[in-house]
Amino acid sequence: MPCAWQFNRLIMYSPLRRYAAECLGTAGLLCAVIGSGIMGENLAGGNVAIAMLANTLATVFALFVLIEVFGPISGAHFNPAVSLAMWLTGQLGRLDFAAYVGVQLVGAVLGAWVAHAMFDLEILQTASKVRTGPSQWLAEVVATTGLLLVIFRMRKEAVAMGVAAYIGAAYWFTASTSFANPAAVFGRMLSDTFAGIRPTDAVGFSVAQMLGVAVALGLRRFFAETRRL
C-alpha cells in the first residue's frame, strides 16, 4: 500500500517487474480482505463483531507481509490513492502512475475472484451490501488522510508496520471500516460477501478517498519543516 522506499531506488527493477509486483500485491491484499471476511462470517455464528475481528487481523497481517515482500520492487502502493499522492509529490512518473493504477485495478479483480474460487462461490458477483451516507464518506476521508500521513511521516523502515497498525485500528474507529483505497473499492464491489460494497455506493467512497488525498497533501506541506522527534 505505501511507497515505503524512495522511487529512485527502484530503477534497478524493470517496469514489467514493478507492475507485476503491484498487480500481485493488490491481488493478495484483496484476496486476504475478501477471503477472511468469508471465513470469519462462516465461523462467527452470526456474531458480526467476531467476523470483523477475524477480517481485521487477516488484513493487518497480510498488509505487513505484502509490503515487506513487494516494497523493494515496486514501493508496495497497492492503492491508486497512494500512487496519486506519490505522482503529485514527484516520487512517481506520469506513465508509471497510469500503469500502477491499471495493474492495481486488475489485481483487485483477480484477488476477489481467487477468494471466491477458494470458498467454492460463484466467481462473478456483484455486491449488494449498502455502504453510503455522509458519515461513511467522512470516514473514508479520515481513513485515507491518516493512511497517507503514516506513509509521509513515519520512518521509512517502520512504514510497513505503521500502515498495518493504522489500517487495523481504522477498521474499528471509522464508520466505513476504512477502505481508504479505490482499488479495494473496485474489487469489493465485485464480491457479494461480508466485505462487499454496492457498485452504486462505490463512487461516493472513491470521491471521499480523493478528498482524503487532498487533505493529506495539504497537511504534508504544512508539516514539511517539522522535524521528527
Question: Is domain 7-222 classified as CATH 1.20.1080.10?
Answer: yes
Given this model, what pLDDT does residue 226 score?
52
| pLDDT tens, residue by residue, 190-211 | 999 999 999 999 999 999 999 9
* Residue 224: per-residue pLDDT: 86
Task: List pLDDT tens digits, range 112-153.
Answer: 999 999 999 999 999 999 999 999 999 999 999 999 999 999
pLDDT at 2: 45
How many Å apart are CA 67 and CA 137, to the nearest integer? 27
With 0-12 / 13-18 / 19 or more C-beta atoms within 10 angstroms meaning exposed / middle / buried, residue 23 is buried
pLDDT given at position 1? 44
Q: Judge residue 11's burial from the number of C-beta atoms within 10 Å of its C-beta, 0-12 exposed, 13-18 middle, 19 or more buried.
A: exposed
Output the pLDDT for position 229: 46
**Per-position DSSP letters for 95-161, written without gaps between them:** HHHHHHHHHHHHHHHHHHHHHHHHTT--SS--------SHHHHHHHHHHHHHHHHHHHHS-GGGHHH
pTM: 0.91
Asked whether the beta carbons of 76 and 6 are under 8 A apart, the reply is no
- Would you state the pLDDT for residue 52? 97
What gap in Å lies between CA 133 and CA 126, rounded to an integer?
20
Instruction: Tell which residue, 143, 118, 97, 92, has the closest CA to residue 30.
Output: 118
Per-residue pLDDT tens digits of the chain, which is 229 residues long: 444 444 445 556 789 999 999 999 999 999 999 999 999 999 999 999 999 999 999 999 999 999 999 999 999 999 999 999 999 999 999 999 999 999 999 999 999 999 999 999 999 999 999 999 999 999 999 999 999 999 999 998 999 999 999 999 999 999 999 999 999 999 999 999 999 999 999 999 999 999 999 999 999 999 986 555 4
How far apart CA 70 and CA 18 sit, in angstroms, is 9
Q: What is the pLDDT of residue 12?
A: 60
Q: Which residues contact 23 (CB under 8 A, 6 or more apart)?
A: 103, 104, 106, 107, 110
100: CB partners within 8 A, 6+ apart:
19, 22, 74, 77, 80, 83, 92
Q: Judge residue 109's burial from the number of C-beta atoms within 10 Å of its C-beta, 0-12 exposed, 13-18 middle, 19 or more buried.
A: middle
